[in-house]
Chain A
Amino acid sequence: MFICVNWSYNLGVFTKVGGQMKIGVPRALLYYKYFPLWDAFFSELGAEVVLSPQTNKRILNLGTEAAENEVCLPVKVFYGHVLSLKDKVNALFVPRIVSVEGGAYTCPKFLGLPDMIRALDVDLPQIISPTFDLKLGLWEFYRSVYELGGFFTKNVFKIIMAFQKGLNKLNSFENLLHDGHLLNEALTGRFSPAPRGPLRIGVVGHPYNIFDSYVSMNLIERLQKKDIRVLTAEMVSPEIINEIVSNLQKKLFWTYEKDVVGAVFHWLDTRAVDGIIYVLSFACGPDSLIQILIEHEAKEKGFSVPIMPIVIDEHSGEAGLVTRLEAFTDMISRKAVKEKS
C-alpha cells in the first residue's frame, strides 16, 4: 500500500489509497480571508481538510523558534501552525497568493511564503503551493486552479464545479461580513448578540492579527464587554473602499492595505465611529507606511475621530493593552458626553 501511495504522489495525483487524503490548512494569515473557499473546494474534491488549532502559546513558541527573528508576528504564527500540523496530514496547503486583483500585490511575505516554509530544517509533508496571480489575467488564474485541483482529480469539470462552489461559499461569507457580522463569527457560524451601547469603535488592521484572539489578546471581546459596538474594515462595502482608494494621490499597490485605508478614511469622513483602533504588527512593511497616510488624513480632518495605534509582537503584554484600552475608551466616552451637552 505504501508503494502505491508513493507512486501516486509521483504522478501528482492523490488517490484515496489508505483512507481519505488529509490536507492541512494552517489557521493563520490568509485563512481569515479565503478559508470558506478552500474548505469547500477541497471537500468537494474528496479531501479531508484538517485545520490547525486556535493559536496558543505552544504554537507561537514553535513559530518564533523556527522563523527568522526579523519576520513579522503573523508569519511567525503561520510557522507555528505549520509545525503543529505537519505530523497530522498528508499534505500542507501553503498557496502563493501573489495578487488578487489587477495592478496590486498582496504582500511580499505572501509571495515568498512557500519557499520560506520549504527552507525549514524539519521533515515536512508535501507542500501544495499553487501560484495565484490575478495580475496575469483570468486565464492564468484558472490554470492555477486546475493545477491545484489536479492533485486530486484530472476531471476539469469537477474541478471547475468545486471551485465555483467554493466561490459561492466565499461570497456568502463576505456578504455576512458586509451585513455587519464579525469575521470570526461569520467563519465559525456561531453568532452572538452584538452590544447595544452608544459607543462605536472601529478596529482596523489585518484580519489575521485582529481575529486571532491570542495574537490580539482578545481585543474585540474586551471592547464588547464594555458594551462597545465594534466595527471592522470588512463591514465597509468594497464599493466605498474602492472609491476612496481611487482618489488617493498615489495608487496603493497592496490589496489588503486598501481595506485599512478605505475604512479609516470612510469613518473619518462620515464620523461613523467614535474612535479608531489601528492594530499593526511590529515590522509589518506596508503598515509602517500606511500609518503615515492615516495620520496625515486625520490631521487634515482636524482629528475629528481619535485614533490609537496598537503595535503587537510576540513580546506584547496583556496588561499594557488593557491599560491603553481603558484609557482610550474612557477618553472617548468623556468626549461623547461632552459633545452631547
Chain B
Amino acid sequence: MKITFPHMGTLDIILSDLFTRLDVDFVLPPKTTTKAINLGVKYAPEFACFPLKVTIGNLIEGLEAGADAVVMVGGIGPCRFGFYAEIQNKILHDMGYDFEMITLEPPMADIKDFARKCKKIASKKTLWQILQAVRIVWKKAVAIDEVEREVLKRRAFEKNSRDTTVAHKKGLAVLKEAITPYEIKEAREKALSLINEVEKDLRRCPLKIGIVGEFYALLEPYVNFDIEEYLGQKGIYLERAVYLTDWMGPSKKNSVMGIDSDELAKAAKPYLSHFVGGEGQTTVGHIVKFAEEGFDGVIQLLPFTCMPEIIAKSVLPKICKELDIPVLTLIIDEQTGRAGVITRLEAFIDLLWNRRKKKLSAVGC
C-alpha cells in the first residue's frame, strides 16, 4: 500500500517524518502549484470551498505518482471540512482512480475506529510503537511552529531583505534531520539561533498586524500568496492566530499561539456567543485579543464561501467599531490574483501608518 496525502503548509515535513519512522510506503505529491489548483478546479464542485479544490488537485497528482491509498482527516461538523474525505473519495473514484480512502475521524468520536485506521496505515508496527512515534514527531511539529512564530516576528527587523527567510529554510533543514527527542531539542535551539543571528535594525518601530482566519488559507503559503513573507519584508511585525499544531492537537490547549480555546471563546462572546464550526469563533476571539494587545490592524484570510469565516466576517463591523481596530478581509479562490491582493495590502498598510501618525500627534509626539 502506497499512501499519499494533501499538502498544507509544513504538514508534508511532519507526515514524511512520521511515515518514515513507521516504515510506511508513501508518495509525496508535488508542492501545490497552479497545476494542482487547475486540476482541482476542474473536478471539484463549482462552489465548494477552495481548500477542497486544491486538495483534490494534490491527491490527483499523488495518485498519478503511483499511490494507491489516501489518508485524510474527517470531522463531525458542522464545517464542510468534515465531509471532504467522503467527497474526494467519490470524485476520484468517478474519475477512474482505484485507491483506498483511509479517513481518520476524530478520536473523540470513535477511539476504536481511530486505532484501527492507524494500525491499517502503519501495518508493520504495533499501536504502542505508533504512539511513541507520534509523540516524538509531535515535538518536532511544535518546534517547527515555534521557529515559524519567531520568523514572523523577527522578519520586520532584518537589515537585508530575505535574510530571515534564508535562515528559516536552513533551520527547517536542520529540524528535518533530527531524529531523537534530544536531537529535536538541539535542532530547535540551532534553528532559533540561526534566526536570531540575522542582522537586525532594532531602532525600527514596525506596524503590528495579526493574521487570523481559516486554517488552510493561513497555513498554505501558495494559496495565500505568501503574504506573510511579503508583509514581513515591508517591515511589519506579524503574529498568526493558528499554527499547524494548534489545528492538529487537542483544542483545549493552544500550544504555540499560547491562548486557551476557552479564553478565546470568552473573548468572542460579546460578538459571537456560540461555536459555529471551523475557526469562526476563534477568529473573532483572536481579533478581540489582538485589539486588546494594541495591534495596529488585523488581516482575515478565508477561502471563498467558507461558512464559519463568513459568520465571523458578518460580525466584524461591530468589533471594528467598538474596539477601534481595522480589519482587512481577503477572500481567496482560484480567481484571486496576486497583484490584486498586493494592492489591497499596500492600501491597508498606508492606512495603518496614517492611523498611527494621527494617534502619535494626538498625544503630542
**Contacts from A to B (Cβ < 8 Å):** 67-68, 70-71, 96, 98, 103-109, 111-112, 114-116, 118-119, 121, 131, 249-250, 252-254, 282-286, 288-289, 291-293, 296, 299, 311
Contacts and interface: CB of A to CB of B under 8 A. Distances in A.
A96 B274 contact: yes
B105 to A, nearest CB: 9
A114 B308 CA distance: 14
A115 B315 contact: yes
Nearest to B77: A253
The 8 closest A-B pairs by CB, nearest first: A253-B77, A112-B311, A105-B78, A119-B318, A119-B315, A108-B307, A116-B314, A285-B307
B47 A288 contact: yes
Contacts of B313: 68, 70
B222 interface: no
Given A70-B331, A105-B78, A111-B78, A289 B315 contact: no
A118 B45 CA distance: 33
24 contacts: A70-B304, A70-B305, A105-B77, A108-B307, A109-B307, A111-B78, A111-B275, A111-B311, A112-B276, A114-B273, A116-B311, A118-B318, A119-B314, A119-B315, A119-B318, A253-B76, A283-B304, A288-B48, A288-B80, A289-B87, A292-B45, A292-B87, A293-B87, A293-B90
Given A288-B48, A288-B80, A115 B271 contact: yes
B235 to A, nearest CB: 31
Which of B85, B276, B321 has most chain A Cβ within 10 Å?
B276
A283 B305 contact: yes
Interface string B180-204: 0000000000000000000000000
A112 B272 contact: yes
Given A250-B86, A285-B49, A109 B317 contact: no
Interface residues of B, number: 45
A291 B48 CA distance: 10
Nearest to B314: A116
Contacts of B83: 250, 252-253, 289
B314 A112 contact: yes
Interface string B310-348: 110111111001000000000100000000000000000
A131 B273 CA distance: 10
A161 B100 CA distance: 54
Contact of A68 (B48, B82, B87, B314): B314
A24 B308 CA distance: 27
A112 B280 contact: yes
A289 B44 CA distance: 9
Interface in B62-82: 74, 76-80, 82
Main secondary structure of the interface of A (DSSP, over half): mixed
A254 to B, nearest CB: 7
Contacts of B305: 70, 283, 285, 288
A205 to B, nearest CB: 14
Given A107-B78, A253-B76, A299 B94 contact: yes
B277 to A, nearest CB: 4
Contact of A282 (B47, B94, B277, B308): B47
Contacts of A98: 274
Contacts of B224: none
A108 B311 contact: yes
Contact of A112 (B52, B90, B274, B317): B274
A13 B285 CA distance: 32
B15 interface: no
Given A116-B314, A296-B94, A286 B80 contact: yes
B310 A68 contact: yes
A90 to B, nearest CB: 22
A276 B308 CA distance: 30
Given A249-B86, A253-B78, A108 B314 contact: no
Interface in B267-284: 271-278, 280
Contacts of B58: none
Nearest to B44: A292
A250 B103 contact: yes
B293 interface: no
A131 B90 contact: no
Contacts of B77: 104-105, 253-254
Given A112-B272, A112-B311, A296 B277 contact: no
B122 interface: no
B90 A292 contact: yes
B310 A71 contact: yes
Interface string B28-62: 00000000000000000111110010000000000
A179 B309 CA distance: 40
B277 A105 contact: yes
Given A98-B274, A107-B78, A285-B80, A291 B45 contact: yes
B273 A121 contact: no
Contacts of A252: 83
Contacts of A283: 47, 304-305
A106 B305 CA distance: 17
Given A108-B277, A116-B314, A118-B318, 19 more contacts: A68-B314, A70-B310, A70-B313, A98-B274, A103-B76, A108-B78, A108-B311, A109-B307, A111-B78, A111-B275, A111-B276, A114-B273, A115-B314, A121-B321, A283-B305, A284-B47, A285-B305, A291-B45, A292-B45
